[in-house]
Amino acid sequence: MFCPFCNKKDSRVLESRLTGENSVRRRRECEVCGKRFTTYERVEVMQMLIVKRSGSREPYTREKLEAGVRRACAKTMVTAEQIDDLVDSVENELASAGKKEVPSTLLGELALKRLRSLDEVAYVRFASVYRQFRSIEDFVSELNTLKDTHALLSGRDTVSSITQDD
């Protein structure tokens, strides 16, 4: 592994740790300049094409999905690690499907499903871009759906806690 400070190849691993679903974090020290740096190893996901709404195709890039999720999560309590885990989870589901071409709609829905349980504000932000909200009514409709789901889940928790007390 090349040192990012002196560009020499000699470095030693000080610590290795699993992070997320498919990556390893390694803390390294350059044996020439003595500086420390961190590297991440990730399982390479098979090359797949994303089929856009227009019918055009483009190669899947993790960075593009990650950037969209980061924008949606800006100024929320969602951590960088949670975002990485979310993207890892989406990639794992896509990889397990084993398809060479994936509709952008599927990619967006997988991200939305995970964002919904992670942070509701980030979910609505991502949905507004992904689902192309054009009016306040679009936002209100999505918020009402989110609110109804929340009410259903809250009601279910109340019912289950009542039955457990008996």
Give how many domains the chain has, as a whole number. 2
Whether pLDDT at 163 is above 70: no
pLDDT band of residue 129 (cuts 50, 70, 90) is confident
Q: What is the extent of the structural domain holding 94?
A: 45-132
C-alpha span between 36 and 11 (Å, rounded): 9
In sequence order, which ranges of the chain are alpha helices (DSSP H)? 62-73, 80-97, 104-118, 120-130, 136-165
User: Does one domain contain both 65 and 125?
Assistant: yes
Distance from C-alpha of 83 to C-alpha of 85, rounded to nearest angstrom: 5
Domain assignment present for residue 158? The answer is no
Alpha-carbon 32 to chain mean position: 37
Q: Same domain, yes or no, for 72 and 119? A: yes
The C-alpha atoms of residue 95 and residue 129 are separated, in whole angstroms, by 25
Lowest-pLDDT range of 28-32, 145-149, 150-154: 150-154
What is the pLDDT at residue 158? 40
pTM value is 0.63
76 belongs to a structural domain? yes
Residues of the chain with pLDDT > 90, as a percent, come to 52
At residue 65, the pLDDT reads 95
Residue 145 binned pLDDT confidence (cut-offs 50, 70, 90): confident
Mean pLDDT of the chain: 86
CA distance 26 to 53: 39
**106 and 58 housed in the same domain:** yes
Domain assignment of residue 147, yes or no? no
Q: Mean pLDDT over residues 116-125, rounded? A: 91
Of the pLDDT bands very low, low, confident and very high (cuts 50, 70, 90), residue 46 is low
Tell whether 62 and 112 lie within a shared domain.
yes
Is the same domain home to 23 and 49?
no
Same domain, 49 and 128: yes
Same domain, 39 and 53: no
Give residue-wise pLDDT tens across range 77-97: 999 999 999 998 999 898 888
Rounded to 5 degrees, φ, ψ at 16 are: -125, 140
Determine, yes or no, domain membership for 150. no
Whether residues 51 and 123 fall in one domain: yes
Are residues 62 and 33 part of one domain? Answer: no
User: Which of the four pLDDT bands, split at 50, 70 and 90, describes residue 164?
Assistant: very low
